[in-house]
């Protein structure tokens, strides 16, 4: 049996629209299930050896799938069909079309601890204006089902609303302090924020299983705005005075004032620090 686990809340509540496309791809015996209406642990525990799972959703859906199972991924074949807002995971792994095999990407994932709660993450942890964008985006989603323009939110934040912070970043015991920080994410993949290649050299399957921290800093709003679009192509890394990149297994980022944070697109507000263990 092939179980199609659809998240109707994905893609700003348009997740179910992708089901028909998957039904055209899957010719075997199948059943469509709303993933938000089942006890996932119990469901997975009852799977037969040859059963297969097809997740219909986005990065947030995959994140919830892993965390609800506490990282105990079943041996059954698991696939992903995109029905998310950004689909950064699939962009990172070179997805073109059809059902994408997930299993090897769901093991040995990094963990992040925020406000005493620890969870796995798929793509990255954003802290700074990236978290701010998710916070504003969430408010807009509550008001409308229109597609959210995160680039527009970021530009307005850079110019008017987001206040730069002082950050302390500790990577594998080595601590550095930075002023005028706009963002300080830690990445398991290369992309986040709907196509921003913030960590172009990060390999989510690297043998050491390290993650990458990126600090984007400048005292000039104009310079921050001018360089910002280059993040979508990963070219911001050429600005070595503005961008600091370090990889490691244990990373702690602390801001001097509370700021919104996002984990695979899910927002947590009023955060002072986070810790990542690869």
CATH of the domain at 181: 2.60.200.40
- Mean per-residue pLDDT for 224-247? 96
180: phi > 0 → left, psi -120 to 50 → alpha, else beta; which? left
Pairing of strands 250-263, 124-127: antiparallel
Q: Buried (b) or exposed (e) across 73-105, using 16+ Cβ within 10 A?
A: beeeebbbbbbbbbbbbbbbbeeeeebbebeeb
Statement: residue 140 has pLDDT above 90: no
Q: Are residues 249 and 124 in the same domain?
A: yes
The top-scoring range by mean pLDDT among 13-17, 140-144, 159-163, 199-203 is 199-203
Longest dimension (CA), the chain: 59
Structure confidence by residue, pLDDT tens digits, 154-168: 889 888 999 999 999
Question: Looking at 79, 107, 135, which one is the last position of a domain?
Answer: 107
Domain count, the chain: 2
Question: Looking at 59, 82, 107, which one is the last position of a domain?
Answer: 107
Question: What are the backbone angles phi and psi of residue 252, rounded to the nearest 5°?
Answer: -125, 130
- For the domain that residue 24 is a member of, what is the CATH number? 3.40.50.10330
Q: Are residues 179 and 64 in the same domain?
A: no
Instruction: List Cβ neighbours of 249 (8 Å cut-off, separation of 6 or more).
Output: 172, 208, 209, 210, 211, 277, 278
Give CA–CA dist 15/23, Å, rounded.
Answer: 14
Q: Are residues 213 and 229 in the same domain?
A: yes
Domain that holds residue 199: 112-277
Strand pairing partners for 214? Answer: 245
Q: Are residues 196 and 257 in the same domain?
A: yes
Give CA–CA dist 159/212, Å, rounded.
Answer: 27
| Degrees, nearest 5: CA angle 114-210-270 | 20
- Mean per-residue pLDDT for 85-96? 92
pLDDT at 211: 98
Q: Are residues 61 and 35 in the same domain?
A: yes
pLDDT at 155: 87
Q: Are residues 261 and 177 in the same domain?
A: yes
Question: Looking at 48, 83, 107, which one is the last position of a domain?
Answer: 107
Q: Are residues 99 and 170 in the same domain?
A: no
Q: Are residues 96 and 179 in the same domain?
A: no
HSE toward the beta carbon, residue 5, CA cutoff 13 A: 21
Q: Are residues 134 and 49 in the same domain?
A: no
Q: Are residues 262 and 131 in the same domain?
A: yes
CB 171 within 8 A of CB 246: yes
Predicted confidence band of residue 14 (pLDDT cuts 50, 70, 90): low
């Amino acid at each position: 049996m092939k179980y199609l686990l659809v998240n109707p809340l994905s893609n700003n509540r348009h997740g179910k629209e992708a089901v028909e496309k998957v039904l055209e791809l899957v010719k075997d015996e199948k059943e469509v299930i709303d993933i938000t209406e089942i006890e996932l642990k119990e469901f997975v525990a009852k799977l037969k050896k040859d059963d297969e799972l097809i997740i219909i959703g986005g990065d947030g859906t995959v994140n919830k799938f892993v965390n609800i199972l506490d990282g105990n991924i079943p041996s059954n074949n698991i696939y992903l069909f995109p029905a998310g807002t950004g689909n950064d995971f699939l962009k990172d792994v070179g997805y073109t079309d059809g059902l994408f095999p997930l299993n090897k990407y769901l093991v040995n994932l990094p963990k992040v601890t925020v406000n005493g709660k620890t969870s796995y993450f798929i793509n990255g942890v954003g802290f700074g204006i990236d978290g701010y964008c998710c916070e504003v985006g969430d408010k807009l989603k509550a008001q409308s089902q229109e597609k959210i323009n995160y680039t527009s939110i970021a530009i307005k934040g850079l110019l008017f609303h987001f206040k730069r912070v002082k950050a302390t970043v500790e990577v594998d015991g080595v601590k550095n302090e930075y002023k005028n920080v706009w963002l300080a994410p830690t990445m398991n993949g290369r992309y986040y924020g709907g196509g921003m290649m913030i960590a172009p050299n990060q390999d989510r399957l690297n043998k050491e299983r390290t993650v990458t921290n990126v600090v984007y800093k400048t005292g000039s709003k104009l310079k921050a705005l001018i360089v910002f679009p280059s993040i979508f192509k990963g070219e911001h890394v050429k600005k070595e005075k503005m961008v600091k990149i370090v990889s490691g297994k244990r990373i702690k980022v602390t801001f001097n004032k509370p700021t919104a944070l996002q984990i695979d697109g899910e927002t947590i507000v009023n955060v002072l620090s986070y810790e990542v263990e690869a």
